Amino acid sequence: MSEETKKGFFRSIMDKIAGGESGAEESASFLDRLKNGLEKTKKGVVEKIDILLLGKKEIDASTLEELEEILLTSDIGVKTTVELVRTLEQRLGRSELKDGHALREALEEEILKRLLKHHTSLKTDEKHPFVFLILGVNGVGKTTTIGKLAARYTATGKKVLLAAADTFRAAASEQLAAWGERSGVDVIRHKEGADPSAVVFDACRAASARDVDILLIDTAGRLHTKVNLMEEMKKIRRVIEREIPGAPHETLLVLDAATGQNALSQARLFKESAGVTGIALTKLDGTSKGGIVIAASYEFGIPIRFIGVGEGIDDLRDFDPEEFTEALFQS
């Protein structure tokens, strides 16, 4: 655990803003940071696999079965696990995999392949303003993710505007305003209980008028099964589309890394009704299972854009499949 986290979330952010850590240092330590964040994930999946495969000269069916258990326990999901194990089984049948080491490499390869399948990076420079619509179920970290994104884009010299379209939860817009204050970013907000579409309308108008580069729209947490709330989402989208043609340019679904199989249901339903184009995976620092990231992206063809690997303001990073897999499998 780093010094910063020990100081607590709030204070470490304040320190960061006051101290203004240099960018070079940050990127140099990024792999370490990611590794630290993923430490738990690694211990979960990889160490168990290592223990299982250590010194095994021959791979048999029961080893594969145990491997299946390990993958399942990592929230990778029944479908993906069965697929992975079946692929390994086939390769085993072709005598490609002789020992534990080869099997581990093959597994790494297969996982990377799945992560790369839908991976594309986000180009925020191509549109002006570039509009992010952030959504997800309750309590996954939408507002925090927006706070981090705002700080990040502000740091690269972009003009950012926040829209507090969560008018339902008590003090949600105050929470976003606190984040805005920290990065010196304007926040468009209405009273609690106001129509979120009205906030979005104002925000879109303001974004164009103020010549903003990035507009980040925060929405209320909604369970994907609530038809009326999903309809509200569609209305918000319609307003954005009307005000800024082509927007939202990125509809970002925020997923909590501790979520189990339900993340797949969230990904499916949010994609169907809100046209999700990317995933931000949060709270990856506290859980030992990173598995859902593979399943959610692979099964629904949604690229993973960002991962949150810590509580600091710059612990939200671009998702890099190679780096991710490397960190996951490094021993």
Which stretches of the chain bind another protein, using CB under 8 A?
A: 1, 5-6, 8-10, 40, 69, 72-75, 78, 137-141, 147, 168-172, 174-175, 177-179, 192, 223-228, 231, 256, 258-263, 265, 283, 285-289, 292
Give the dihedral of Cα atoms 207, 212, 213, 214; nearest 10 deg.
-50
The CB-of-190 to another protein minimum distance in angstroms stands at 15
| Residue pair 240/163 in contact by the 8 Å Cβ criterion | no
Main-chain dihedrals φ then ψ at residue 285, nearest 5 degrees: -80, -20
Q: Which is nearer to another protein, 75 or 250 (CB)?
A: 75
In the complex, minimum distance from the CB of residue 314 to another protein, in angstroms, rounded to a whole number: 17
Structure token pair of residue 162: 């926040």
CB of residue 265 vs another protein: minimum separation in angstroms? 6
Instruction: Give min distance, CB of 55 to another protein, in A.
Output: 24
Residue closer to another protein (CB basis): 222 or 249: 222
* Smallest separation (angstroms) from another protein to the CB of 253: 14
Burial class (CB in 10 A: 0-12, 13-18, 19+), 58: exposed
Q: Which is nearer to another protein, 164 or 244 (CB)?
A: 164
Backbone angles phi, psi at 251, to 5 degrees: -105, 105
Question: Which CB, 63 or 262, lies closer to another protein?
Answer: 262
The one-character DSSP state at 140 is: S
> For residues 12 and 311, is the Cβ–Cβ distance under 8 A?
yes
Q: Residue 208 or residue 273: which is nearer to another protein going by CB?
A: 273
Nearer to another protein, 174 or 322 (CB): 174
CA angle 198, 204, 208 (to 5 degrees): 150
| Residue 86 C-beta: closest distance to another protein, Å | 15
Nearer to another protein, 5 or 208 (CB): 5
Give the nearest distance from C-beta 259 to another protein in angstroms.
5
Residues 124 and 215: their CA atoms lie apart, in Å, by 11
* Alpha-carbon span 275 to 182, nearest angstrom: 31
Q: CA torsion angle for 310, 269, 171, 147 (degrees, to 10)? A: 40
